[in-house]
Amino acid sequence: MSWFFIALTGTFLYALSNHIDKILLEKYFRGRGVGVIILFSSLLSVFVLPFLYLADPSALRMDATSILVLAGVGTLHILVLWFYLLALRDEEASVVVIFFQLAPVFGLVLGFFLLGEVLTRMQLIAMAVIILGTTAISFEIDAENNFKLRRATVAYMLAATFFWALGSAVFKGVALEENVWRSLFWEHLMLTLIGICIFLFIRSYRTHFLTALRSNSGAILSLNVANESLYILGNVILSFAFLLSPIALILLTNSFQPVFVLALGIFLTLFFPKISAEKIHVKHIWQKIIAICITAIGTYLLFIS
């Protein structure tokens, strides 16, 4: 059970990061935030490198094949962030994060084919129930109480969760051969290099990034540093959890992330509406609660299996 509480801590940090992402997109980077946040996220990875190197000075002696694989993991993380931000740009944080519960499905398939991991029948049933919970939030309830499929959000988050599960599977394969600190060092180094390439070769992202820094540098830098610190710490915690249990099980603990995000969203909407606001009409709250409860049932089935 230790893996569960370790993974849950990382999940809570992700929930905090989700709301900061939404605040940045709406308050500071409206209309141009995706590229700016991607650049901040990748470039700020450079600051964690010294700490990862001190944790394991032998990191520079990793073999070339593992380095190449981790370069791919860094690329996958950028893709996860890109599709996730595209979804978050036009949707509530408490809706978007529920779609991350699809990651265990991809995690199961990838873990089976790449790592030889096997889940029991009860665990498969638990996953099916959690998938049902994500389906409940796939439809938007409009003012006339009609249901409309969130097509763009579903498409973006399917891509994001697939790349997330794939990156997790590949990372675990390397980390089991090397170790977590070495793997994290090279992963974040590759993220930094990718950020530099994006800055140099994608002009629109570079222009928006520099404009954002000039317009409100203090607040933007503070929020982004806090955001990336939470996200990186969450990554470190979950990286250790991945070594303690099958990937699909660790990803299933993310079923608690919507609970944290919804609670934080309601809190901000009620007490700090100028910072962030979500739909808290009864029908919207009930839809989210139902989706989360179904996911919680699946998680319970997982623990009794």
With 80 as the cut, is the pLDDT of residue 201 above it?
Answer: yes
Between CA 75 and CA 227, with CA 209 as vertex, the angle to 5 degrees is 65
Looking at residue 83, its pLDDT comes to 96
Mark out the alpha helices in the chain (DSSP H runs).
2-23, 33-43, 49-55, 64-89, 93-96, 103-110, 121-136, 151-177, 180-201, 203-242, 247-252, 257-271, 282-304
Q: What is the pTM of this model?
A: 0.84
With 90 as the cut, is the pLDDT of residue 174 above it?
Answer: no
Looking at residue 246, its pLDDT comes to 72
- What are the tens digits of pLDDT across the range 181-196? 888 888 889 889 999 9
In whole angstroms, give the CA distance from residue 59 to residue 185: 7
Looking at residue 92, its pLDDT comes to 92
Structural domain boundaries of the chain? 2-304
- What are the tens digits of pLDDT across the range 79-129? 999 999 999 988 999 999 888 877 777 877 777 777 677 777 887 888 888
Q: Which is more confidently placed, 301 or 36?
A: 36
